Amino acid sequence: MRNTPWGYMVVDIGYPDGVSDGGDDMTTTEYQVTGMTCGHCEMSVRREVGGIAGVDDVEVSASTGRLVVTSTTELDDASVLAAVDEAGYRAVRA
């Protein structure tokens, strides 16, 4: 875990994100999470995964177990799996 998750965001502000013809380097990665049962579970996962440097958006569903992470950089699977583990659940790359 990095101490300053916002460091990446600050660097990114200089980027022209209006340009979307291939210049958008957002990465979406899907995972399957087991053990979530309700909205609180979703929230814990969202909070932990959202704290990873470079993560822009986290979509998670307790009913399907689907976790979709949008990030500004290619994510290290291990850090996402560790974050989910930290929240108290298990994830595998989908």
Contacts to Cu ion by CB under 5 A: 37-38, 40-41
Q: Residues, the chain, total?
A: 94
Nearest distance from C-beta of residue 41 to Cu ion, angstroms: 3
Nearest distance from C-beta of residue 38 to Cu ion, angstroms: 3
Q: By three-state DSSP, how is residue 1 classified?
A: coil
Helical axes 39-50 vs 77-87, angle rounded to 10°: 140
Pairing outcome for strands 55-60 and 27-34: unpaired
Residue 37 or residue 61: which is nearer to Cu ion going by CB?
Answer: 37
Residue 28 or residue 64: which is nearer to Cu ion going by CB?
Answer: 64
Nearest distance from C-beta of residue 20 to Cu ion, angstroms: 36
Residue 41 or residue 67: which is nearer to Cu ion going by CB?
Answer: 41
Question: In this structure, are residues 58 and 75 in contact, taking their beta carbons and an 8 Å threshold?
Answer: no
Nearest distance from C-beta of residue 25 to Cu ion, angstroms: 34
Residue 52 or residue 87: which is nearer to Cu ion going by CB?
Answer: 87
Output DSSP code: residue 20.
-
